[in-house]
Chain A
Amino acid sequence: ETGVTQSPTHLIKTRGQQVTLRCSSQSGHNTVSWYQQALGQGPQFIFQYYREEENGRGNFPPRFSGLQFPNYSSELNVNALELDDSALYLCASSLGGTGGFTEAFFGQGTRLTVV
């Protein structure tokens, strides 16, 4: 167990709807990153939150947004869902400010299906 928890584990939404996914980081970690993993692909970086601010973003449109709270937990929000948003969404917890020399641990993921 990594101590990183995500909710919900599975979700079915209709195209055009909005969704919020949640992540609790591992104790002692101040950084949460979100990844999208399509079937048969490696995870793709969406964005990262460090001390409650977004400090890095991948190639995802603005309808993907997020938050980090004072306890370092985080939310991923996706608006105007599209069929291609169907994927496994992964949250990774790590200790930031180390120049990348740090381990990132994943939660169990949220499987989102858009119909």
Chain B
Amino acid sequence: QKEVEQNSGPLSVPEGAIASLNCTYSDRGSQSFFWYRQYSGKSPELIMFIYSNGDKEDGRFTAQLNKASQYVSLLIRDSQPSDSATYLCAVNRGIVGGYNKLIFGAGTRLAVHP
């Protein structure tokens, strides 16, 4: 079992729709969770991070965390063609005094079509 799993996609949604990206993780000790966006040939760009159960909203993006189910998701409202990219989910075990190792999923490719 991979530590962080994502559906590779592509997830295809029409412009203006809600895109829902999902991620599961295996380590119950994981403390913080990150979503990065990566355009082809570019480096990952941080969208949001979350560490408490529930929802966290930032503009068109909402991250949802359910630690009991070991599940984190990202919703993108009013999807735009410019949102077409690979979305990487990452988790951090968050050992106090330890190191900030991010474990990434392989990413979900999102395609928003006009």
Contact = CB atoms under 8 A, between A and B. Distances in A.
A binds B: yes
Given A42-B88, A55-B98, A104 B103 contact: no
A40 interface: yes
A101 B31 CA distance: 8
A72 interface: no
A40 to B, nearest CB: 7
A108 B41 CA distance: 10
A56 to B, nearest CB: 3
Nearest to A95: B100
Main secondary structure of the interface of B (DSSP, over half): loop
Contacts of A50: 99
Interface in B1-39: 4, 31-32, 34, 36
A88 B102 CA distance: 16
Contacts of A43: 44, 88, 102, 104
Interface in A52-110: 55-56, 58, 88, 90, 92, 94, 96-109
A99 B104 contact: no
A107 B32 CA distance: 21
A41 B100 contact: no
Contact of A103 (B46, B99, B105, B107): B46
Contacts of A90: 43-44
A25 interface: no
10 contacts: A2-B45, A41-B106, A42-B106, A45-B103, A48-B100, A96-B99, A99-B98, A100-B93, A103-B49, A106-B45
Interface of B: 4, 31-32, 34, 36, 42-46, 49, 51, 88, 90, 92-107
